Homo-oligomer: A and B are copies of this chain.
Amino acid sequence: MTPESTARISAATLARRLGPEPVDAAGPAYRLLAHRIRSAVLDGRLAVTSGLPSERDLASGLQLSRTTVAAAYTLLRDEGWLDSRRGSGSRLRLPETGGPPRTTGDIGPAGLFGYPGSTGDEIDLSVASLPAPEGTLERIAAAAVADLPAYAAGGGYAPFGLPVLRQAIADHYSAAGLATTAEQILVTNGGQHAFTLALQELSVPGDRVMIECPTYPVALDAIRAARRIPGPIGLPGPGQLEDTSAPWDADLIAATMRQTAPRLAYLIPDFQNPTGALMDGPTRARIVEAAQASNTILLIDESFRDVPFPGHGALPPRMGSFDDGHRVLTLGSLSKSVWGGLRIGWLRGAPAVINRLAATRALGDMSGPVLEQLMAAHFLADPTAALDQQSRRLADGAAVLTAELAAARPEWKVSHPRGGASLWVALPGPFATELARSAHAVGVRIAPGPRFGPDGTMESYLRLPFTQPADKLVSGIRRLSAVADRAAAARLSDVPGWLT
């Protein structure tokens, strides 16, 4: 059947096929219309290659403005759902999926990041990344561009980071109560860059690296790729512990450090990824003390520390506050709290360690981009409004996702974080990988539990980020819920991992 073989359908027919407007609809009318059309194609109510009514006819048939219909058609066209040819109107099609992968979700088993929801009707619940706070990028980019001429006459290299940014980051810590000088800061291209530099410079192949289990999967992939040995410390999941905000067992961690003397320990005490848990002060003190005794470097990821949910009280002191022996190396980032497209992260540590890390960094990519660093410096000069905006978005997303899960799947146990970007979900059985497979078939991408640990277990867990807009979260959970029973029944108990 060629595209031309399907007739153009009338506005009245299309209106019937689309059904009534959802009662909980939110967002611009044109996006909603585009969404309804895509959904109708995906579930078979509209044939692919159907010719759509003219904009004028559909506007009249649906009682929408012609502008709205035109914008919806434009959006569908841009997303590859519509072919428009002069004289023959607009015809539905399926977006192409061939060609190069558009996200790293497609490049391998890591598969946990990408442009969320950027094409078609797919809902990406595998990625924990926010849109940029409104107006912020434009503001800091304009300020950075104004600074550029003063830098353009130089060579542009600064492997430690631009002095102005190192100082701004140091001031950010000092203002929060942890006295810091610029010499203690190395600027990196985002948090993952900071992580891999520390891993590379402070350990060698074969070294043991203590991690939480579950942990951030891209860090875990980097540990494996660098031929270090991940040493997992289990964190109890939802339902296993009354207070999910305190799952770290300080005695266990201290004993493990004493017995195995890991070179590095990678911990996320502030809204742990994926559990969202927050480590209390006494546990922090115990762990730093244990690390000092076992000569372990604590690589502490504070990516989400600056965006606790609104109304959250004071956080426990930073891990670095308990350190008097240069055991704590702190990893910070604007890529999680502000925007993933702003590739600015850093490490805070003793100047001697920072010097070694900078030498390694210079061999890897010489230096960071100047304009990006100037943007970050301007951001840190006045971060409050933008961080508040991101905090609200995260809290709102968490509320929507939690409510939707409670309604759709009350038997799933979920974490109740007060920060971070995702829920950690305990399923009633070990079918997470099968659920991810089934979800993919209905246009939802999720990350099953085994992605978050080193040994292919955690088949009863899922991470569900709440960074997508509310309508995507709701649709995503509904689709997921619709295939969950089938996935639970079909589960293969011997599936070892994500891509098998």
Contacts and interface: CB of A to CB of B under 8 A. Distances in A.
Interface in A337-353: 339-344, 351
A156 interface: yes
A433 B320 CA distance: 43
A340 B363 contact: no
B148 A138 contact: yes
A437 to B, nearest CB: 21
A197 to B, nearest CB: 9
A341 B363 contact: no
A12 interface: no
Interface in A308-366: 335, 339-344, 351, 355, 358-360, 362-366
B113 A155 contact: yes
A188 B343 CA distance: 13
Interface stretch (A85-93, A114-122, A258-266, A470-478): A114-122
Interface stretch (A45-53, A100-108, A389-397): A100-108
A352 to B, nearest CB: 11
Contacts of A138: 145, 148-149
Contacts of A100: 160, 182-183, 351, 355
A141 interface: yes
A1 interface: no
A129 interface: yes
Contacts of A148: 137-138, 141
A221 interface: yes
A365 B343 contact: yes
Interface string A122-152: 0000010111101001100110110011011
Contact of A359 (B104, B118, B369): B104
A244 interface: no
Interface stretch (A65-73, A235-243, A245-253, A370-378): A370-378
A402 B374 CA distance: 37
What is the total number of copies of this protein in its complex? Answer: 2
A218 interface: yes
A228 interface: no
A176 interface: no
B156 A342 contact: yes
A99 interface: yes
Contact of A225 (B104, B129, B151, B363): B363
B340 A156 contact: yes
A296 interface: no
B160 A365 contact: no
A116 B113 CA distance: 39
Most B-side CB within 10 Å, residue of A157, A340, A372: A157
25 contacts: A100-B182, A100-B351, A101-B160, A103-B159, A107-B355, A107-B358, A110-B359, A113-B366, A113-B367, A115-B155, A129-B157, A132-B152, A137-B148, A137-B149, A141-B144, A142-B145, A156-B341, A189-B365, A192-B363, A340-B366, A341-B369, A341-B371, A342-B369, A343-B365, A343-B369
Closest 9 interchain pairs by CB? A156-B341, A341-B370, A156-B340, A193-B365, A129-B155, A132-B152, A343-B369, A104-B159, A100-B183
